[in-house]
Amino acid sequence: MRGADTPSARTVLSVADETPTVRTLEFEDAELARAAPGQFAMVWVPGAGELPMSVMVSGTAGRAAFTVRAHGPSSRALYGVREGGLIGVRGPYGNSFDATARSALLVGGGTGLVPLMRLITRLPPDARIGLAMGSRDAGEVLFEARARELAQGREIRIEVATDDGSRGLAGTAVDAARRLLDSGGYAAAYTCGPEPMMAALVREAAARGVPAQASVERVMKCGVGICGSCCMDDRVVCCDGTVFGGEHLASSADFGRACRSKSGATVPL
Amino acid sequence: MAASLETRVGPIGLPSPAMLASGILGISTGVFRRLLDAGAGAVVTKSLSAEAWEGYANPTVIGAAGGGWLNAVGLSNPGAAEFARMLRGPPATPAIVSLVGSEPQDFGRMVAEFAGCDVVAYELNLSCPHVARVGLEVGDDAALVESVVRATAAASSAPVVAKVGLGSASYLDTVGAAVAGGASAITAINTVRAMAIDAEAARPVLSNAYGGLSGPPIKPIALRCVHEIASRHEIPVIGCGGVSTWEDAVEFLLAGASAVQVGSALARGNMGVFGEINAGILRYMERKGHGSVREMVGLARR
């Protein structure tokens, strides 16, 4: 007999290159297909490791996906899984974005755009959406067409920023977000991506009186609030988060500044 | 007189008998304060070593059938000196400090790091089932246990608790050695060495293959060990292993434990478990006419 949190084997049904360094792997999983935006799964690559991954939307009912960039040993292994390959999943874990805003500003950097794609599908049917996306260069711009598809006829305005200026604005997602904020009228800002970018966005939104929510990433081992590896101040990110409100984050000593290493030592971000 | 949750484990005074077990959520003093506010009688830190340890690669924690958990976290911790800095504050956080090492002198040196900290007690991890040269490998060697406990007690003004588990030697011999070395109390038990294999992948799931089983599946074993230790030794016992409800806690007290530790039941952000256990014990005490926790200890051994 299996436990509810024992990894369940899933066969990867398709692998699609999103950019030269980012891939999306799809698989069947009714429960993860229903995951709320911001929730994550712990993903086991047998023999290679296990890592927390935000659950990406799939265009096929009953399927979920992971969008991964190879940067550490576990993500490199997941990036290398081919069609027909086996992964183990447990989850979904964590809380999620409050998707009720009728005018929503979404701000994502790199694969931080993943929970924002799921968020687009959950925003109200009459929502007005602004999407600021940041990436390294023109070739790494992620999910631009997918975001328009997922908007399904709702108004969506997209601003792209690249670090090197090869597409859109030269700058970060926050610079792109500023343009959208200048046009005004957003009831909420949602962000996921590199923490310095999120911290800047939370400050920017607060200065304009727009409530923000950010999905925070930390070292995760258990994903279920047992090991404590992911703690941020007095919060356990895997259970109390990963989504936190801007007001809480503004009062956090750690957010935007420090995280825990694998040993649990506090280290600068 | 109204029933009170206040109790003692030998020299260790506690406002309530359910404390946080070592290894669980034990690296943030902010989280410790939340747990104390939620009703934990004390918090035990992760086992701290002389140097920082990263622990094993993931998968390190997975669910097991019957509401249990399997872990081979591998004693990851930021090291005794760094942890002492966190405990010292400000604000200072009171804690039972769990220590892990291989040699008696390791423990004496680590105790020195905690000068200026509010150390409620030291709990010696003689029972981690999945890391080489420490934990059970120390606990299985009675002579080494005695000298480790003696070295820690000599270095410390705080009481020393020995945490024992099911290794290849009899844990009752480990208890005897800890008593001889001057331990003030025994914590029993640690996780039980176990493993998981995935049928589809045809390989062990934990990166270390072997880990420790915790949660409800090990409660009956832990209860038996507490009963056995309390029957054979004149030393206070802290019961640990699958305590998830007030009823579990009461059973451990009746078996002879002076207090209990709660670990796996905290999964999924369930910090409210301490309040539930405290309220349940109080109701039980009032129903049975017990004024203090201490008068319940060992009643099932009459």
Q: What is the DSSP string of A214-268?
A: EE-----SSSSSSS-TTEETTEEHHHH-SEEEHHHHHT-SSTTTEEE-TTS-EEE
Q: Is B60 close to A221, i.e. CB distance below 8 A? A: yes
In tens, the pLDDT along A181-198 reads 998 889 999 999 999 999
Among the partner-chain residues A44, A226, A265, the one whose CB lies closest to the CB of B264 is A226
CA dist., res. A78 & res. A51, Å (int): 9
Please name the residue of chain A whose CA is at the shortest distance from the CA of residue B217.
A3
Q: How far is B69 from chain A (nearest CA, A)?
A: 8
Q: Is A228 close to B26, i.e. CB distance below 8 A? A: yes
Q: Is A227 close to B207, i.e. CB distance below 8 A? A: no
Question: Cβ of A230: how many Cβ atoms within 10 Å?
Answer: 28
Q: Which pLDDT band, with edges at 50, 70 and 90, does B26 fall under?
A: confident
Amino acid at A14: S
Angle between helices B142-155 and B171-181 (to 10 degrees): 30
| From-to residues of CATH 2.40.30.10 in chain A | 8-93
- Is the per-residue pLDDT at B33 higher than 70? yes
Q: Which is the catalytic residue, given B117, B128, B225, B240?
A: B128
Q: Which pLDDT band, with edges at 50, 70 and 90, does B2 fall under?
A: confident
| From-to residues of CATH 3.40.50.80 in chain A | 97-215
Among the partner-chain residues B31, B46, B63, the one whose CB lies closest to the CB of A4 is B63
Report DSSP letters for B215-253, one per residue: SGGGHHHHHHHHHHHHHH-SS-EEEESS--SHHHHHHHH
Q: What is the bridge-based pairing of β-strands A188-192 and A103-109?
A: parallel
Q: What is the DSSP letter of A36?
A: P
Alpha-helical segments (H) within chain B: 29-37, 80-88, 104-113, 136-139, 142-155, 171-181, 219-232, 246-255, 273-288
- Stretch A149-160: mean pLDDT: 96
Is B62 at the interface with chain A, CB within 8 A? Answer: yes
- Is the per-residue pLDDT at A215 higher than 70? yes
Among the partner-chain residues A88, A235, A264, the one whose CB lies closest to the CB of B78 is A264
Domain boundaries, chain B: 7-60+73-195+214-301
Please name the residue of chain B whose CA is at the shortest distance from the CA of residue A4.
B63
In tens, the pLDDT along B71-128 reads 999 999 999 999 999 999 999 999 999 999 999 999 999 999 999 999 999 999 999 9
Q: Is A228 close to B31, i.e. CB distance below 8 A? A: yes
Query: Residue B287, class by beta-carbon neighbours within 10 Å (0-12 exposed, 13-18 middle, 19+ buried)?
Result: exposed
Topology, domain B7-60+73-195+214-301: TIM Barrel (3.20.20)
Residues recorded for chain A: 269
Interchain CB contacts (distance < 8 Å): A and B: 152
- Stretch B208-235: mean pLDDT: 97
Is A44 at the interface with chain B, CB within 8 A? Answer: yes
In tens, the pLDDT along A38-73 reads 999 999 999 999 999 999 999 999 999 999 999 999
Contact residues on chain B for A87, CB-CB shorter than 8 A? none
- State the virtual CA torsion across B82, A230, B196, B128 in degrees, nearest 10: 20
Residue that has been written with the tokens 């290679």 in this structure: A48
Among the partner-chain residues B65, B266, B267, the one whose CB lies closest to the CB of A2 is B65
CA dist., res. A234 & res. B273, Å (int): 17
Cis peptide before A242 (omega within 30 of 0): yes
- State the virtual CA torsion across B54, B57, B59, B60 in degrees, nearest 10: -30
Contact residues on chain B for A223, CB-CB shorter than 8 A? 61
Q: Is A73 close to B198, i.e. CB distance below 8 A? A: no
Q: What is the DSSP letter of A112?
A: G
Q: Does domain A97-215 have CATH number 3.30.420.40?
A: no
Q: What is the pLDDT of residue A184?
A: 80
Contact residues on chain B for A45, CB-CB shorter than 8 A? none
Q: Is B269 close to A239, i.e. CB distance below 8 A? A: yes
Among the partner-chain residues A4, A225, A264, the one whose CB lies closest to the CB of B269 is A225
Tokens for A137, please give them.
Answer: 């260069």
Q: Is B82 close to A265, i.e. CB distance below 8 A? A: yes
Q: What is the bridge-based pairing of β-strands B12-14 and B7-9?
A: antiparallel
Is B66 at the interface with chain A, CB within 8 A? Answer: yes
Contacts of B43 (CB under 8 A, 6+ apart): B19, B20, B26, B32, B35, B36, B93, B94, B95, B96
Tokens for A8, please give them.
Answer: 């369940």
Amino acid at A264: G
Q: What is the pLDDT of residue A227?
A: 95
E-assigned strand segments in A110-162: 128-135, 156-162
CA dist., res. B186 & res. B165, Å (int): 10
Buried b (16+ CB within 10 A) or exposed e, B230-245: beebebbbbbbbbbbb
- Is the per-residue pLDDT at B144 higher than 70? yes
Q: Which pLDDT band, with edges at 50, 70 and 90, does A3 fall under?
A: confident
Q: How far is A94 from chain B (nearest CA, A)?
A: 9
Tokens for A214, please give them.
Answer: 């950010």
- Is the per-residue pLDDT at B1 higher than 80? no
- Is the per-residue pLDDT at A240 higher than 90? yes
Among the partner-chain residues B26, B203, B267, the one whose CB lies closest to the CB of A47 is B203
Is B54 at the interface with chain A, CB within 8 A? Answer: yes
CA dist., res. A265 & res. A263, Å (int): 6
In tens, the pLDDT along B167-215 reads 999 999 999 999 999 999 999 999 999 999 999 999 999 999 999 999 9
Among the partner-chain residues B26, B61, B78, the one whose CB lies closest to the CB of A222 is B61
Beta carbons of A90 and B63 less than 8 angstroms apart: yes
Residue window 169-198, chain B: list those with CB within 8 Å of chain A: 196, 198
CA dist., res. B105 & res. B152, Å (int): 8
Is A85 at the interface with chain B, CB within 8 A? Answer: no
Beta carbons of A107 and A173 less than 8 angstroms apart: yes
Q: What is the pLDDT of residue A1?
A: 80
Angle between helices B80-88 and B104-113 (to 10 degrees): 30
CA A111 to chain centre: 6
Q: What is chain B's mean pLDDT, rounded?
A: 96
Question: Element (H or E) spanning A169, and its range?
Answer: strand A169-170
> Is B117 an active-site residue?
no
Nearest partner of B200 among A77, A28, A87, A50, judged by Cα: A87
Is B203 at the interface with chain A, CB within 8 A? Answer: yes
Contact residues on chain B for A233, CB-CB shorter than 8 A? 28, 30
Contact residues on chain A for B23, CB-CB shorter than 8 A? 227
Q: How far is B288 from chain A (nearest CA, A)?
A: 34
Write A250-255 long-range contacts (CB < 8 A, 24+): A250/A202, A250/A203, A250/A206, A255/A195, A255/A199, A255/A202, A255/A214, A255/A216
The complex's ipTM works out to 0.94
Q: Is B76 close to A90, i.e. CB distance below 8 A? A: no
Amino acid at A119: L
Torsion region of B127: left, alpha or beta (phi above 0 gives left; psi -120 to 50 gives alpha): alpha
In tens, the pLDDT along A242-262 reads 999 999 999 999 999 999 999
Contact residues on chain A for B55, CB-CB shorter than 8 A? 221, 262-263
Nearest partner of A105 among A208, A242, A257, judged by Cα: A208
Residue window 231-250, chain A: list those with CB within 8 Å of chain B: 231, 233-236, 239-240
Q: Is A239 close to B268, i.e. CB distance below 8 A? A: yes
pTM of the full structure: 0.95
CATH class belonging to A8-93: mainly beta
- Stretch A99-112: mean pLDDT: 97
